[in-house]
Amino acid sequence: MKTSTGGPRWLYLHGFASSPDSAKARALAAHYAGLDIELERLDLRRPSLEHLRLSAMIEHVRARIGGERERVVVFGSSLGGLTACRVAEHDARVFALVLLAPAFGLARAWRQRLGEAGWAVWRTRGWVETLDHKTGQMAPVDHGFVAELERFDAGDGGFPDVRVPTLVVHGVHDDTVPVERSRAFAAGKRHVKLVEVDDGHPLTASLPRIVALADAFLAPLLGAT
């Protein structure tokens, strides 16, 4: 499977509090570099981790896609997977998605994990600390981030209207975004292929299988032999 002049662009969108240099991002980029494909890893800390906004992430991705006739394959991990879907539902330049534990219903999952008391503290204090996987240090994230996520989810139950061929890989032991969310997203959609793996949210142990699944899924779409 190789790209050629005029072929599609390939983008990778990292997860929450992660970065373009995450283990999955680097491993996937290295794999596709060996196939003469550049997997461009975007920085989704928009406008910053402290003031992260899904709308800013979507705007950044759309701006980086390029011209009106561009075709794009998008890999998205967790929050990056949700971002990829939100881009694809309104942007015809995206023609295939590979989603790794996509963060459907993230605000709801976060609220359940924190409990109502913890959620109220985040709202009234205005911020909560989270582990910044890029620096290894704790960092604040303001409540406006999840408040915006809730507004996005309010209109469609947290499931974007994605109509392009989509591969979803989700761990059955995911305690951050339950696999049931991907099952609900994929249900009844012939263009969505869900593969459940024996793994947790990071999916690190499943990287070799993810690569194999993505190659097999994308090859017919790209006319590869």
Q: What's residue 97's pLDDT?
A: 98
Q: What's residue 68's pLDDT?
A: 82
Q: What's residue 225's pLDDT?
A: 40
User: Cα 82 vs. chain centroid, distance in angstroms?
Assistant: 5
Average pLDDT of span 49-55 = 97
Report domain extents, the chain. 9-221
Residue pLDDT, tens place only, 142-188: 999 999 999 998 877 789 999 999 999 999 999 999 999 999 999 99
As a residue count, the chain comes to 225
Q: What's residue 70's pLDDT?
A: 87
Residue with the two structure tokens 């503290």: 121
pTM confidence score? 0.94
Confidence label for 224 from pLDDT (cuts 50, 70 and 90)? low
Per-residue tokens: 214: 């993505």
2 contacts 35 by C-beta, under 8 angstroms = yes
CA–CA dist 198, 173 (Å, integer): 7
Question: Is the pLDDT confidence value at 2 over 80?
Answer: no
β pairing state of 39-42 and 9-13: parallel
Q: What's residue 4's pLDDT?
A: 44
Q: 120 CB contacts (<8 Å, ≥6 apart)?
A: none
Strands in 39-42's sheet, in edge-to-edge order, are 39-42, 9-13, 72-77, 94-100, 166-171, 192-197
First to last CA, the chain: 7
Q: Coil, strand, or helix at residue 30?
A: helix
Average pLDDT of span 40-44 = 97
Q: Which fold has domain 9-221?
A: Rossmann fold (3.40.50)
Q: What's residue 27's pLDDT?
A: 96
| Average pLDDT score over the chain | 93
Q: What's residue 201's pLDDT?
A: 96
Q: What's residue 116's pLDDT?
A: 94
* Better-predicted residue by pLDDT, 106 or 1: 106
Range with the poorest average pLDDT among 79-88, 152-161, 198-207: 152-161
* Better-predicted residue by pLDDT, 80 or 110: 80
Average pLDDT of span 37-54 = 97
Per-residue tokens: 17: 């509090």
Work out the burial of residue 96: count CB atoms within 10 Å of its CB; fewer than 13 is exposed, 13-18 middle, 19 or more buried.
buried
Question: Is the pLDDT confidence value at 42 over 80?
Answer: yes
The fraction of the chain above a pLDDT of 90, given in percent, is 87
Residues 25/28/29/33 CA torsion (nearest 10 deg)? 180
Q: Phi-psi category of 136—alpha, beta or left, where left has phi over 0 and alpha has psi -120 to 50?
A: left
Q: 172 CB contacts (<8 Å, ≥6 apart)?
A: 179, 196, 197, 198, 199
Residue with the two structure tokens 């305690």: 175
Q: What's residue 156's pLDDT?
A: 76
